[in-house]
Amino acid sequence: MNKAIVIFSGGQDSTTCLIQAQQHFDEIHCVTFDYGQRHKQEIEVARNICKKLEVYQHKIMDVTLLNELSISALTRDDIPVPSQHYDQDIPSSFVPGRNILFLTLAGIYAYQIGAKTLITGVCETDFSNYPDCRHDFVQAQQKVLSLGMDYELDIQTPLMWLTKAETWALADQYKQLEFIKNETLTCYNGIIGTGCQSCIACDLRQKGLEAYLASKENELHHSTTHNFL
């Protein structure tokens, strides 16, 4: 049995990973982490998407301990969510150790259920500058888990080098663009679908969608012209 675990937040990226994984694996287990998000509905959104995509193994892991330790804007209500891009510095939405913890817990779960593949939607290209979303980190963590449990584990990051526009293209390739557009939650202010339209997450998501739709339009135009000639 070809099993995979998808680290699943109910956002655009992890939902795209999930949809892709459904084409390649016989059995999928989604893992959603409850770390005291500002918006609890993230968990509900994740649950709902799993139901709609017929993923029957969905584990919610309580990691609220992170909330006690962390001073990030994503877990504390008194720190504002950043509204602009940060080119150099780590943004205030960074939760230190989050992906180290998530990949470790998901890795333990993988060991327990005998899954050899762990999929996460982390990405280097979205300029969020989180150190634990980088390729080097994921490679190192894979090695840590494989060595520490003496268990061969492959951590796949299908979105690592994709732009947001390319992530939308991937969703479209699987005929799920509308689903992802309407059902996922990426917004830092907790608004599903197109979101609040003013936070950095909404901005990235919207610009990516516009860029993808424009390129698609262009391609269509070109192919029509070509056919006509």
Distance CA 177, CA 181 (A): 6
102 versus 188: smaller Cβ distance to Zn ion: 188
Packing angle of the helix pair 12-21, 164-173 (nearest 10 deg): 40
Q: How far is the CB of 47 from Zn ion (least distance, A)?
A: 21
Q: Rounded to an integer, what distance in angstroms lies between the CA atom of residue 137 and that of residue 143?
A: 10
Q: Is 199 in the site for Zn ion (CB under 5 A)?
A: yes
Tokens read off for 205: 């998501």
Binding marks (x or -) toward Zn ion, 132..171, rule CB under 5 A?
----------------------------------------
Cβ burial 154-182 (10 Å sphere, 16+ → b, else e): ebbbbbbebbbbbbbbbbeeeebbebbee
In whole angstroms, give the CA distance from residue 7 to residue 17. Answer: 9
In whole angstroms, the minimum distance from the beta carbon of 161 to Zn ion comes to: 25
Please tell me whether residue 195 binds Zn ion under the rule CB under 5 A: yes
Q: Does 202 bind Zn ion (CB under 5 A)?
A: yes
Nearest to 122 by CA among 95, 169, 160, 156: 160
Site string for Zn ion, 170-189 (x = CB under 5 A): -----------------x-x
Output 5 or 199, the one with its CB closest to Zn ion: 199
- Give min distance, CB of 193 to Zn ion, in A: 10
* Interaction of residue 204 with Zn ion, rule CB under 5 A: no
Task: Tell me how far apart the alpha carbons of residues 124 and 161 are, in angstroms, rounded to a whole number.
Answer: 6
**Tokens linked to 149:** 């449990």
* Rounded least distance, CB 203 to Zn ion, Å: 8
Name the minimum Å distance from CB 81 to Zn ion: 8
Contact call for residue 192 and Zn ion (CB under 5 A): no
Q: Name the CA radius of gyration of the chain, rounded.
A: 18
**Is the Cβ of residue 10 or residue 195 nearer to Zn ion in the bound state?**
195
* List of residues contacting Zn ion (CB under 5 A): 187, 189, 195-196, 199, 202
